[in-house]
Structure 1
């Protein structure tokens, strides 16, 4: 059945995917000049095969073949449900993380599939490996699940090493409002530590600042400049907590594997008004949760299951679809 699925993929049209979570890295270098690349993949649609194909995650592999093949055949795909047993814990104190402030603001772009801040320097060092920060962007709702639970948003900070390896810090974003500010601090179900930015903490200043101008890039392909960005607040929160680490993939085409994921146990937050403002521009842009790392790709599992069900139906005398 794997060959059958690959045949369907190859039968679809192959068009170039212009932007992804790897935007600005060696996988998707930035365009020269003032052009803001707009992706032609999306988050809705099915695996229906037609002249132009569908843009949703079930058909990402067909949008650019064979480059996006891992989207349908990879066995370490992201995002995943962050449950005990699928990750290791790395304390923030064991990570060297620096992100430069941006006193003149930063370029803020609408790629059509997400909104992205182009950073101006920052480093992540884990053990002997060192990565340079390229950009950070947002998904709504969260792509990773927290022990089966979706969060309001997720921020991805994308790093690249000199050896062209990619590491991503994923941080959940919750909604802080007046009612939450009066509630006791919420504790992580797994780790028992306080979740920064939720259950009584104030909204994260960095996020409020970034999203204060998100309405200026409501149209895909547009960009603006943010107000001055002070990164230390978020860096301090990340280093004060821990990271759940695992080897996965990009969560957008080309779904390349070997990505070093660091999903923070911390929580950032935005006000309700800011969440609505961001939602109205970003819309829905979360890939569905994938299989446990190391297990067969869900699209392959689905193909096998559908074929088995069809065979069983024919054998039972039911008319074939």
Structure 2
């Protein structure tokens, strides 16, 4: 029994190479500008949730077998710290606003130009979207939200800049100003980030999956300047949505954005819960496969246990 399960694990792991990094990432352009918003067929709860993603489509098998899955706990030696000078990040302002869509699985802003240059590779910004709560843990701690800025290279490679979002209110801002200690892994925005407040001011207009709205003008410089002034925690992981393709270059920012309590509630009421649970340390077996092996071993043990007759 042990050998057959192990063989199944190895066979399933081989399917990772079949999953295209572009598939399922909202990178494919719609048929025409302003076309229909495609609503995701996966979810985060029940039979369409992360525990069952691999069963929804054959292409999703790597969600249950991959050994470099995201998100993870950003702690210990799982990442390399990359200094700001080693990263070039630009995002164009959008003076006419941007298309803001409800995909059913997240809310997403379609961007109008931006780039990421790192380690001799050039990536172009496609979109950014939000998860609630944060998908990556910050040294064991979940944050209120996380923004993912998704970039793609000419050779279809994907890089993602992840930025934590905390709830910023008057008390938090006052406490931050009184503090004299600065944690290099947590450069906290002491006030609501203007860009986020602008975007989320219209999030209630796309409460229904498949709908979209034009945002007010978006000035990206506030966020870009904050993010590119701080180190990045980098590692090689995967998409956090099906098909969970690996080879994604993650850059988790040590900066932190802020959102007002009122805006957080508005976003929460639209998005709900949309975070994949933290995965195993990169390079270790997939936690779903470990669970399956454990369940199989337990079933064998139960079947092999002697039957004890009840006392007469």
Query: Does TM, normalized by the shorter one, top 0.5?
Result: yes
Conservation of the 8 A alpha-carbon contact between 1:112 and 1:221: yes
Q: 1:23 aligns with which of 18, 23, 26?
A: 26
Unmatched 5+ stretches in structure 2: 13-21
- CA shift at 1:61, angstroms? 1.2
Larger radius of gyration between Structure 1 and Structure 2: 2
1:36 equivalent in alignment to 2:44: no
Comparing 84-93 and 209-218, the one that deviates more:
84-93
Conservation of the 8 A alpha-carbon contact between 1:19 and 1:111: no
Aligned to 1:168: 160
1:134 equivalent in alignment to 2:123: no
Aligned to 2:135: 143
- CA shift at 1:62, angstroms? 1.6
Distance in structure 2 (CA, Å) of the matches to 1:225 and 1:19: 26
Aligned to 1:62: 55
Distance in structure 1 (CA, Å) of the matches to 2:76 and 2:287: 20
Richer in helix (by share): 2
Secondary structure of the 2:176 match is coil
Distance in structure 2 (CA, Å) of the matches to 1:180 and 1:116: 28
Distance in structure 1 (CA, Å) of the matches to 2:100 and 2:187: 27
Unmatched 5+ stretches in structure 1: 9-17, 46-53
Q: 1:258 aligns with which of 247, 253, 260?
A: 247
Normalised TM-score (structure 1): 0.86
- CA shift at 1:171, angstroms? 0.4
- What is the aligned residue count? 292
The two structures, once aligned, show a CA RMSD in angstroms of 2.2
- CA shift at 1:167, angstroms? 0.1
Q: 2:176 aligns with which of 159, 164, 184?
A: 184
Alignment of 1:1-321 (within 5 A): 1-2=5-6, 20=24, 22-24=25-27, 29-33=28-32, 34-45=35-46, 54-65=47-58, 67-185=59-177, 192=184, 195-197=187-189, 201-317=190-306
Comparing 172-181 and 100-109, the one that deviates more:
172-181
Conservation of the 8 A alpha-carbon contact between 1:188 and 1:195: no
